[in-house]
Amino acid sequence: MKRLRPIEPGLIRIFRYFVWAETFAFCLVPIAENLFLGEISFFYQDPFFFIFLQSLFLSIYLSIPWLQRKLRQAYLLIAILIAIIIPSVVIYYEITLTMQQNQPIDLLRIWALLPLLMIPLVPAAWQYDFRIVFILFVGLGVWDGLHIIALNNGVDMTILLPLFTIFIRVISLALVGLMITELMSIQRVQRKELTRANLQLVQQGVVKEQLAISRERNRMARELHDTLAHTLSGLTVQLEAIQTVHKDKDKLGEMITTALKTSREGLVETRRAMRALRVESLDEIGLKHSLQDLFQRFNARSETSFMLDLPATINYFTDEEEQTIYRITQEALENILKHARASHVRTSLEKQSNNWVYTIEDDGIGIVFDDKETLFKGLGIQGMQERANAIGAELHIRSQPDKGTIIQLIITSR
């Protein structure tokens, strides 16, 4: 079933103004009769008095926000139907009585229906498609014509002018309705495009933030290289020299050996941290070579074997998407190294329908979690999910105890 469109912003307010103006215009009728004709008004005895009551009721109805919250989309539809049906019934009740009494039809009554129907036409065309407008207003005109023909027992010269008047009314309402629906269709398309452009701006802002973070990480890597790494390297050289000079003193030699081992481990760890901080330029070496380099560094830190099942060239993604793939892979490998105890890791990229599916699969112990919410709170997975959301991709994680983990990033192809 097609989902009902939310009521357009400002539509109820404009409709309410129209109906209040109609109510005020009816109130002026008895005042004008007293002023210009000098007669006591008997407006309440005229059938149009029922249209005045309908306008007054609609004015109150459209001024109650609680009803709109309660009825939702039906709130507007009820008001439109009331504004269409009541005037039509009143006028054609009067025409029916006139024709049954063999009196000529008052064309002014038929023409009066045109401005009365213009009031519900505007919100109807504003909110709904032209098909709905056509059914409501053109269908009403066809019914009116058939009604008069039936009362007259056929078509003759006496009803040609009323039928022509109805035809002019139908054409006028249809053209105005078509114009409004077309304008609203264009506005809805422009609104969607504006929303899409705003989303792209937000995504670009996220990417710029990620690039700024990457530059800062590279700066930190340089600082570490120029300070801590140099210091540890100098310390290692000094300890090696001391060990050579004092190798005959067992205790001192043992202490120096321990210090030397510690400094070497610190140097190795510092260099590893600097490599982790520094991101190779994907523009320079490409996504595939960046992933290969990442896996080689991962393999050097563990005994886990890996297999990359990637296309010969990868040039399907934007810079933002490549950055996301690289970062999610980096986070996944860190999790595998720290927690999975896996023997094999396989990564693949393949086209499925209109999507690119990037998969990282290991044969480790799996992820133990109570529910999906708990899963996405730990192990850096929340950051992976945020990166996927930033480019409009989907991230799926499947894991079973002792059966490994599968991470899939699904990116819609362009």
Q: Which pLDDT value is given to residue 255?
A: 66
Say how many residues make up the chain: 414
CA-derived radius of gyration, the chain? 39
Nearest to 85 by CA among 61, 119, 130: 119
Q: Kindly list the domain boundaries of the chain, sorted by start residue.
A: 11-200, 285-414
Which are the contacts of 224, defined by CB distance < 8 A and separation ≥ 6? 270, 273, 274, 277
Residue recorded with tokens 């109807």: 124
| Residue 362: strand pairing partners | 345, 405
| CA–CA separation, 203 and 211 (whole Å) | 12
E strand or H helix at 302: none
Show the DSSP H helices in 361-407 as ranges: 372-375, 381-390
* CA-based end-to-end distance of the chain: 29
Phi-psi region of 153 (alpha: psi -120 to 50; beta: other; left: phi over 0): left
Q: Which pLDDT value is given to residue 273?
A: 64
Nearest to 63 by CA among 10, 16, 7: 16
Crossing angle between the packed helical segments 11-32 and 48-61, to the nearest 10 degrees: 140
| Tokens encoding 214 | 């990457």
pLDDT tens, the chain, 414 aa long: 455 678 888 899 999 999 999 888 888 877 776 676 666 556 566 777 888 889 999 999 999 989 888 888 889 999 999 999 999 888 888 888 888 888 888 888 788 888 899 999 999 999 998 999 999 888 888 888 898 888 888 888 888 898 998 899 999 999 999 999 999 999 989 988 998 898 888 888 888 888 878 777 766 766 666 556 656 666 676 667 666 665 556 666 666 776 677 677 666 666 666 665 555 556 667 888 888 888 887 887 777 888 899 888 888 888 888 888 988 998 888 888 878 888 899 999 998 888 999 999 999 988 765 544 545 555 577 778 888 888 899 999 988 888 899 999 999 876
| Residue 397: strand pairing partners | 407
| CA–CA separation, 253 and 268 (whole Å) | 22
CATH code of the domain occupying 285-414:
3.30.565.10
Q: Which pLDDT value is given to residue 214?
A: 76
| Tokens encoding 358 | 């990037």
pTM of the model: 0.51
| Sequence letter at residue 168 | I
Which are the contacts of 228, defined by CB distance < 8 A and separation ≥ 6? 270
Angle at 190 between CA 188 and CA 195, to 5 degrees: 95
Q: Phi and psi for 346 in degrees, rounded to 5?
A: -125, 135
Neighbours of 332 (CB within 10 A): 25
Which are the contacts of 140, defined by CB distance < 8 A and separation ≥ 6? 84, 88, 117
Q: Phi and psi for 348 in degrees, rounded to 5?
A: -140, 155
| CA–CA separation, 370 and 228 (whole Å) | 42
Neighbours of 33 (CB within 10 A): 15
Pair 314, 336: CB distance under 8 Å: no
Q: Which pLDDT value is given to residue 371?
A: 46
Q: What is the dihedral of CA 305, 306, 307, 308, to 10 degrees?
A: -160
What 8-state DSSP symbol labels residue 44?
G
